[in-house]
Amino acid sequence: MPVAPRHRKRIILSVPGWWKTDPNLPFTLGPRVIPGRIWTASGCFAYGLSGHDISAPDIPSPYVGIGAVVTKTVTPAPRTGNPMPRLVETGTGAINSIGLENVGFEEFLAVTLPDLESRGVPTVVSLAATRPDQFGEMAGRLQEKAAGYTHWHGVELNLSCPNVAEGGHDFGRDPDTVAACVQSTRAQLPDRALLAKLTPNVTDIAALATAAVDAGADAVSAINTVIGLDVDLATGQPVLPRRFGGYSGPAIRPIALAKVDEIVSRSGVPVVGVGGIENFEDALKFFALGAVAVQVGTAQMRDPFAAARIARALAL
Amino acid sequence: MVELPRPAAIRCDGVVRANDPVSSGLLCLDLELEQPVSFLPGQFAMLNLAGDSSLVFSRPFSIFAAVGPVVSFLYREVGRGTRAMGALKPGDPLTFLGPLGHSFPVPDPRQPVVLIAGGVGLPPLAAWLEATGDGCERRVNAFFGARDGADVPWGILGDKWNVSVDNLVGMPPGRDAWHGLVTEMVAARADLRDGPPQTVLACGPTPLLKAARKLAAGRGWPCWLSLEEHMGCGYGVCKGCVVPVHDPGRGGGALRNATCCEEGPVFNAELLAWD
């Protein structure tokens, strides 16, 4: 009778021979040169200021090798977010319902972004709004305030946060609305990278990617969280007060890989891969499919050095 | 009332040196880290299984003690993470991120203090007593409550703690305990009620914290509570462990969300919007 091995067999022990791109080197994305290809994902490293006081014996800082921190999503007005509980761990994934809690665009612009610039954190600002024109307004203000900033590299549009329960907020499912949001932003953002983060909760993600790039985006980030739900058996009710949340973590990696493949093969647009990346092997799978960069999300919550470790492991 | 400068957090690997029961429900885990670590009482660490066994989220534990590179935790098996921890043997690896969060404050040395700990809420207050309570003129009264006599870690408590139990079963011979809630034991002490104002420091289940807060508020005593909350990251990035607090800066009874991990876990009881 076969005996199950105690540990999963590791197929790759070091970086494979086909890997020829050092992700620690700068690369061009649209009008901008980005310092590296290993990023942290929105919502998983806050605004990018929380890692400065943490050290590790083997890495001097969580920022070493990080190409960009995609900030926690910022909205035109501050948001207090959703009631607790906001997180559920489910085996190899986690469902969140944070509700876009954030300091609001004005405070971000006045306090957070200058702080990121002075600390030299490579930054991509994640924006969400309730109308397409608000994206343009915020992009215009960013451009005004931060035109001289050297570490602000771009904007990622959060068009698909499934845990915000406001009518019509989930822009990300309609190609025309995605295009409107991108156009409004692009018009104000001549010299920074513009990314649209796509939801996987659609039947044709490649069409959304095409719409975003045709409207002026330099790349798409794929994927945002998958809609998920867990039930508390003690009460028979969903664990999260808003029932649904965004499912993330290693469980969604195969979904993310499939969506990235679909976008690359059908739309041919540049993709930043995100979804369940925990280590350099996971990152390599996205690069193997043609991703131009990757974002580390849930794993960054567990280990502030997760992205830095991946960048180090893939250095050539 | 001061909070001492907080030591910087480190993220490193550790090896379990001991993992043994200290009562019917509490276990003590000693973890030897790659480097020495210091902490302030009330601070916590995020622990996780190493390698392919890692849980999606690390789990927060108050730090009980740290001697050189060996850091100790008291815990109870309540869910998937702590059950996995309970199965760890000496030599097994764990990952460590800490110390994190804000500590209990250190009141003026002449200010008498009441410590109220419930069950697994003992570590930060035991650490506080060890670090702060001895060797000065301060008068400290320490109270610990457990489910029953068997769940009291008698060997850890020594003779400094007044003990209460919800249920008198399991009491070892020669030991005494108040029968009832730990906060009732504190409330019944006439010398505290009639004496000078105390500062209350409490850690334990939410009903205990609410009772401690009510007791302190009724007597006009300052009160600091260490909250227990499910956490995603422990270092302020995920916003998954928020606690509604009053926001005096904005006035008008305004509330805001404070992260339990970064702004807490120790809060001034007056700021908590529990009403």
Shared domain check, B120 and B77: no
What is the predicted pLDDT for the residue at B136?
Answer: 58
Over chain B, what is the mean pLDDT?
Answer: 93
Shortest alpha-carbon distance between residue A300 and chain B (Å): 8
Residue B262 lies in a domain: no
Query: Averaged over B144-171, what is the pLDDT?
Result: 95
Greater confidence (B110 vs A94) lies with A94
Residue B66 lies in a domain: yes
Shared domain check, B92 and B121: no
Residue B167 lies in a domain: yes
Q: Tens digit of pLDDT for each residue in A120-144?
A: 999 999 999 988 999 999 999 999 9
Looking at A39-43, A132-136, B132-136, which range is the least confident one?
B132-136
What is the predicted pLDDT for the residue at A140?
Answer: 98
Shared domain check, B80 and B46: yes
Residue B86 lies in a domain: yes
pTM for this one? 0.94
List CB contacts of B204: < 8 A, sequence separation 6 or more.
B116, B117, B118, B119, B120, B121, B145, B182
Q: Tens digit of pLDDT for each residue in A233-242?
A: 999 999 999 9
| Residue A307 in tokens | 């992205």
> What are the structural domains of chain A?
30-314 (3.20.20.70)
Matching residue, tokens 């004496």: B195
- Per the structure, the complete domain to which residue B175 belongs is given by 113-228
What is the predicted pLDDT for the residue at B134?
Answer: 59
Shared domain check, B161 and B127: yes
What is the predicted pLDDT for the residue at A9?
Answer: 43
Shared domain check, B170 and B78: no
Q: Tens digit of pLDDT for each residue in A268-289?
A: 999 999 999 999 999 999 999 9
Q: Which of B52, B71, B100 is the last residue of a domain?
A: B100
CB contact under 8 A, A80 and B256: yes
Query: Averaged over B8-29, what is the pLDDT?
Result: 97
Residue B25 lies in a domain: yes
CATH of the domain at B170: 3.40.50.80
CATH of the domain at B29: 2.40.30.10
Short-list B195, B181, B63, CA closest to B141: B195
Residue B127 lies in a domain: yes
Shared domain check, B211 and B126: yes
Shared domain check, B142 and B93: no
Residue A163 has pLDDT above 70, yes or no: no
**Size of the A and B interface in Cβ pairs below 8 Å:** 99
Q: Which of B70, B100, B130 is the last residue of a domain?
A: B100
If one counts the domains in chain B, the total is: 2
Minimum-distance CB partner of B239 among A92, A94, A98 = A98
> Does the ipTM exceed 0.85?
yes
Residue B249 lies in a domain: no
Looking at A5-9, A211-215, B172-176, which range is the least confident one?
A5-9
What is the predicted pLDDT for the residue at A45?
Answer: 96
Minimum-distance CB partner of A87 among B58, B237, B240 = B240
B chain contacts of residue A89, beta-carbon cutoff 8 Å: 55-57, 80
Q: Tens digit of pLDDT for each residue in A284-307?
A: 999 999 999 999 999 999 999 999
Q: Tens digit of pLDDT for each residue in B74-92?
A: 999 999 999 999 999 999 9
Matching residue, tokens 């006045």: A110
Residue B261 lies in a domain: no
Chain B contact for A81 (CB, 8 A cutoff): yes
Shared domain check, B217 and B190: yes
Helix (H, G, I), strand (E, B) or coil at A15: coil
Q: Which of B34, B68, B100 is the last residue of a domain?
A: B100
Q: How many CB atoms lie within 10 A of CB B22?
A: 17
Residue B168: Cβ-neighbour burial (10 angstroms; 0-12, 13-18, 19+):
exposed
Interface of B with A in 10-69 (CB under 8 A): 10-12, 34-35, 46, 48, 51-52, 54-58
